[in-house]
Amino acid sequence: MQRRRSFLATAAAAVATPAIARAQDVIRSAKASYRLVTLSRDLEQPWSIAFLPDGRLLITERPGRLRLFARGRLERAPVGGLPKVYARVQGGLLDVCLHPRFTENRTLYLSYAGEGEGGAATVVARAELAESGGLRGVRPIFEALPRASGGLHFGSRIAFDRAGLMYVTTGERFQMQRAQKLGDLGGKVVRLRDDGSVPPDNPYLGRDGARPEIFTYGHRNPQGIAMHPDTGRMWLIEHGPRGGDELNLLTAGANYGWPLATHGIDYNGATISDHKSLPGMKDPVRAWVPSISPCGLAFYTGDRFPGWKGSLFTGALSNHALFRIELQGERYVGEERLLVDRLPFIRDVRQGPDGLLYLVTYSDDGGLYRLEPA
């Protein structure tokens, strides 16, 4: 218990409100009153955040930088040793995720758009964060082949389950039919061991014409994945086209329909499919029409906001809001829109070791923010 208290004290000091932090007025919602605190406004297109065990934050910037927020300030120099990224349109440096045993091995993972013959693809690299602060031993362990031209729909979230297996989301690169092809890694959720090898119980292992990495398919551009803290099951959130954003509960081997079944239409108003649901395909737990452009996904398990415990949070890029989603078991119950028009383009949301919520906003003057109980 003493060790736990010591860790929390260290973590709290690492993310303590700095002199530059600014707290707005009290905001009242259905189940909590809170303040929005600005921690930094010096980030360029931040995409993801991850907490180190001592409470410091790693923050990715899409143009290809990994930043460190420590002792209440954003460190000026980026973390060194990053791989080269394809930083065009939506491509670039995207997610960052720690190994479940980071305290033992100091291993982390980066997802990014990587370029090669034929174009770009979602890549996951494994690396060690040296005590000196830079990355070493950077090694790509997965690539969502085939590569394609253009800079759209990379997916790119990473999450681990209780067994230590890694889930990676991939977009279909704005080529919708790729999501239905089992010999193609676009538009999928893949499941890997921590070294990039394939677990022996993956659903398509040994099937002719299918990639063994695939866990689920029929996805468009999934940009949020999180493990339920009680059931251990993986939840996914993904962008639809014009309408048809989805919250999905993942089942091994399942087809989630895109583009054969969708609640959305094409950007020019054309029909993509006449079907919202089809036999043999999994329906979303929740579909949004019109789109909210969901990004980032986190279950809240802390005690600082008792009324939010068990809620699922996602940024809503096109709604300029943070969505709090209530579930009852595996059933959608309702949702609440927080921070409406207070922050633009919330790209990621995470719970910190202090039980508070942290957000980053995706813009050239992007910010790091914290929600505190009032």
What is the pLDDT confidence band of residue 23, given thresholds at 50, 70 and 90? Answer: low
Flag whether pLDDT at 19 surpasses 60: no
Structural domains in the chain plus CATH codes: 2-373 (2.120.10.30)
In the Cβ-directed half-sphere of 165, how many Cα atoms lie within 13 Å? 19
Flag whether pLDDT at 2 surpasses 50: no
Flag whether pLDDT at 298 surpasses 80: yes
| Residue carrying structure tokens 């253009």 | 150
- Range 81-89 average pLDDT: 97
pLDDT reported for residue 348: 98
Q: What angle do CA 226, 227, 231 make, to 5 degrees?
A: 150
Mean pLDDT of the chain: 94
Flag whether pLDDT at 1 surpasses 50: no
pLDDT tens column, 352-370: 999 999 999 999 999 999 9
Cα(194)–Cα(198) distance, integer angstroms = 9
pLDDT reported for residue 133: 87
Flag whether pLDDT at 11 surpasses 70: no
Quote the pTM value: 0.94
Identify the burial level of 337 via C-beta atoms within 10 angstroms of its C-beta, where 0-12 means exposed, 13-18 middle and 19 or more buried. middle
Active site residue 320: no
Flag whether pLDDT at 7 surpasses 90: no
pLDDT tens column, 221-263: 999 999 999 999 999 999 999 999 999 999 999 999 999 999 9
Flag whether pLDDT at 203 surpasses 80: yes
pLDDT reported for residue 3: 40
pLDDT reported for residue 132: 85
pLDDT tens column, 116-161: 999 999 999 999 999 988 999 999 999 999 999 999 999 999 999 9
pLDDT tens column, 309-356: 999 999 999 999 999 999 999 999 999 999 999 998 999 999 999 999
Rounded percentage of the chain residues whose pLDDT exceeds 90: 92
What is the pLDDT confidence band of residue 12, given thresholds at 50, 70 and 90? Answer: very low
Flag whether pLDDT at 210 surpasses 60: yes
More confident position, 147 or 15:
147
Question: Which of the following is catalytic: 99, 153, 239, 320?
Answer: 153
